[in-house]
Amino acid sequence: MLLAQVEQVQVPDLDFPAIAPILIVLGAACVSVLFEAFLPRSARWAAQFGLSVLTLVGAGAALLAYLGDAPATGVTTLAGALAVDKPALFLWATLLILGLGSVFLMADRRVEPGGAFAADAAIRPGTIQDRAQATTVMQTEVFPLALFSLGGMMVFTASNDLLTMFIALEVLSLPLYLMCGLARRRRLISQEAAVKYFLLGAFASAFFLYGLALLYGYAGSIKLSAIAAAAGGSDRSDTLLFAGIGLLVVGLLFKAAVGPFHTWSPDVYQGAPTPVTAFMGACTKVAAFGGILRVFSVAFEATSWEWRGVLWGVAIVSMLIGAILGLTQTDIKRMVAYSSVAHAGFLLIGSIALTDEGRAATLFYLLTYGFTTLSVFAVISLVRDANGEATQISSWAGLAKRSPVVAGIFTVLLLALAGIPFTSGFVGKFVVFSAALADGMAPLVVIALLASAVAAFFYLRIIVLMYMREPEEDGPTVSLPGVPTTITIALGVAVTILLGVFPSAVLDWSVVGAFVS
């Protein structure tokens, strides 16, 4: 019998210290599910919040401990499924600290009495039971979901083959779809956002998977390095390669909400509970661009001449859509969503530079943008009227007279988004554009500068509105934030100003060199 010749299975090696942060986050997510199952309702919030904070701090500590003796070039582990290198470690650190900020926002129960999430999301909106739960304590399933999502993001930025990347993409997306639908106020629009995000996200995943299949057909392997090797020297038909790249990139750009693949983002940003929007705006962006950077630099660098022109176009479209449609918005969350589309365009410029400077600049930009976005949404969640958050831009008129501190903080954050000097946004744009210039993308940089000038207009419009108008009679008030939200806002503003004035230390960290594969 030929079937009888069976050898012993070799278990793949596991570099435990290198992937400890991932294991901690995913393991704690499972523990958190058990908390949800076995703890009484009254004890859950404290336990879940404590566990989440402890997890993220612990994962950060494991990361720091590993940094000391990490090999300079990085390692691949688990049969080459994960590549833990300097860029991945930088992205993990960014994700962990932004995730911590988001968890703080999710845990706040003071801004919205009881928390920003529904007490029982299964109750149908608008029923008697729904009105009865308006002030009861929130559901705490959002904590394990956030941890799973964060774990998926960390795997996504470190995955060294496309299959791991696809599963990580799903692990990061599925909890986000769920969390979008859990808002306490305006539940119908929140559920609509969740359904929209889920359907379009499933569609984008299908594109990614189809691209993966074609690339497998081309290279005979799903490993990024094998695809690079096949693209570098083979006489195989390029049709599979380019069709595969195209479809794969559509899936990636969808997650990053770039350019023409952004249509989900305004609706979802608007409908989702604001802490979840902050989490999406900051962490998903980091994860998606981390994945994009890795795929482009490792797998497709040899063919960059062929696809670069297309991505120039995508970056331009993204910047223009973000800047121009952002001008016409009347809802502040939608406006920030369009601003994030414009920022995704800037980030894409850095990502297609494919040089060490381009990589470093993109990573730095992601870090600064994440902090600023996190605090922007935290501040948005504070400005409220009787119906919850007052997201109509017109109702923000004269906010500076009611609450000078919040208006001042929001002004700093908006200036950072616009890229005014002495804010982190300026330094981020500066390094991305100079990396792009060095790589011969001068026309793109000119367009990007024009787009940021247009985008600056709608940030300034809000500043003018806040300072130069009289407040309305029944306008919104600023609620006093709880401790967690205060910490997030303070952290975000501090990083925004510090990295604007003394960026050099973080700029040095962000010079991470090449990916390992």
Choice between 33 and 460, CB closer to another protein: 33
CB of 248 to another protein, least distance (A): 14
Q: Which stretch binds another protein (CB under 8 A): 6-14, 107-115, 224-232, 355-363?
A: 6-14
* Window 27-66: contact mask with another protein (x via CB under 8 A): --xx--x--x----x-------------------------
Choice between 118 and 319, CB closer to another protein: 118
Name every residue whose Cβ is closer than 8 Å to that of residue 238 and which is 6 or more positions away in sequence.
Answer: none
Q: Which stretch binds another protein (CB under 8 A): 162-170, 318-326, 363-371, 393-401?
A: 162-170
H, E, C per residue of 223-288: EHHHHHHHHHCCCCCHHHHHHHHHHHHHHHHHHCCCHHHCCHHHHHHHHCCHHHHHHHHHHHHHHH
CA distance 390 to 393: 8
Indicate which single residue of 18, 83, 88, 155 sits in contact with another protein (rule: CB under 8 A).
Answer: 155
Residue with tokens 């984008």: 204
Choice between 237 and 394, CB closer to another protein: 237
Strands 75-77, 82-84: pairing is antiparallel
Tokens standing for residue 154 = 């960390």
Instruction: Note the Cα 219 to chain centre separation in Å.
Output: 30
Choice between 246 and 513, CB closer to another protein: 246
Choice between 121 and 445, CB closer to another protein: 121
- Residues in contact with another protein, counted by CB under 8 A, come to a total of 52
Instruction: Note the Cα 278 to chain centre separation in Å.
Output: 9
CB of 163 to another protein, least distance (A): 5
Indicate which single residue of 53, 70, 123, 490 sits in contact with another protein (rule: CB under 8 A).
Answer: 123
CA distance 172 to 166: 10
Task: Decide: is 195 part of the binding site for another protein (CB under 8 A).
Answer: no
Please report, for residues 18, 33, 226, the alpha-carbon distance to residue 22 in angstroms, rounded to integers and kept in the order given.
9, 17, 25
CB of 155 to another protein, least distance (A): 6
CB of 53 to another protein, least distance (A): 20
Please report, for residues 35, 118, 151, 156, 455, the alpha-carbon distance to residue 283 in angstroms, rounded to integers and kept in the order given.
25, 23, 11, 12, 22
Task: Decide: is 137 part of the binding site for another protein (CB under 8 A).
Answer: no
CB of 164 to another protein, least distance (A): 5
Indicate which single residue of 146, 178, 231, 298 sits in contact with another protein (rule: CB under 8 A).
Answer: 178
Side-chain-facing half-sphere of 283: CA atoms under 13 Å: 32
Residue 91: closest CA among 79, 103, 99: 99
76-95: contacts with another protein (CB under 8 A): 78-82
Helix (H) or strand (E) holding 93: helix 86-107
Q: Counting every residue, how long is the chain?
A: 517
CB of 205 to another protein, least distance (A): 12
Task: Decide: is 122 part of the binding site for another protein (CB under 8 A).
Answer: yes
| Torsion angle, alpha carbons of 61, 62, 67, 69, to 10 | 130
Task: Decide: is 243 part of the binding site for another protein (CB under 8 A).
Answer: yes
CB of 63 to another protein, least distance (A): 19
CB of 221 to another protein, least distance (A): 10
CB of 305 to another protein, least distance (A): 20
Task: Decide: is 99 part of the binding site for another protein (CB under 8 A).
Answer: no
Tokens standing for residue 169 = 């993409």
Task: Decide: is 167 part of the binding site for another protein (CB under 8 A).
Answer: yes
Give, as one character, the DSSP assignment of residue 471: P
Q: Which stretch binds another protein (CB under 8 A): 140-148, 283-291, 350-358, 474-482?
A: 140-148
Task: Decide: is 504 part of the binding site for another protein (CB under 8 A).
Answer: no
**Could you tell me which residues are beta bridge partners of residue 94?**
none
Task: Decide: is 512 part of the binding site for another protein (CB under 8 A).
Answer: no
Name every residue whose Cβ is closer than 8 Å to that of residue 12 and which is 6 or more positions away in sequence.
Answer: 77, 78, 79
Choice between 64 and 134, CB closer to another protein: 134
Long-range interactions of 308-313: CB distance < 8 A, separation 24+: 308/352, 310/246, 311/249, 311/348, 311/352, 312/352, 312/441, 312/444
**CA-based end-to-end distance of the chain:** 39
b/e per residue, 450-487, with b = 16+ CB within 10 A?
ebbebbbebbeebbebbbebebeeebbebbebbebbbb
Q: Which stretch binds another protein (CB under 8 A): 87-95, 145-153, 274-282, 421-429?
A: 145-153
Name every residue whose Cβ is closer than 8 Å to that of residue 387 and which is 6 or more positions away in sequence.
Answer: 185, 186
Choice between 151 and 503, CB closer to another protein: 151
213-242: contacts with another protein (CB under 8 A): 214, 217, 237, 239-240
Task: Decide: is 275 part of the binding site for another protein (CB under 8 A).
Answer: no
CB of 179 to another protein, least distance (A): 9
Indicate which single residue of 60, 101, 175, 273 sits in contact with another protein (rule: CB under 8 A).
Answer: 175
Task: Decide: is 11 part of the binding site for another protein (CB under 8 A).
Answer: yes
CB of 4 to another protein, least distance (A): 8
CB of 77 to another protein, least distance (A): 9
| Contacts to another protein by CB under 8 A | 2-3, 5-7, 9-12, 26, 29-30, 33, 36, 41, 78-82, 120-123, 129, 139, 141, 144-145, 148, 151-152, 155, 161, 163-164, 167-168, 170-171, 174-175, 177-178, 181-182, 214, 217, 237, 239-240, 243
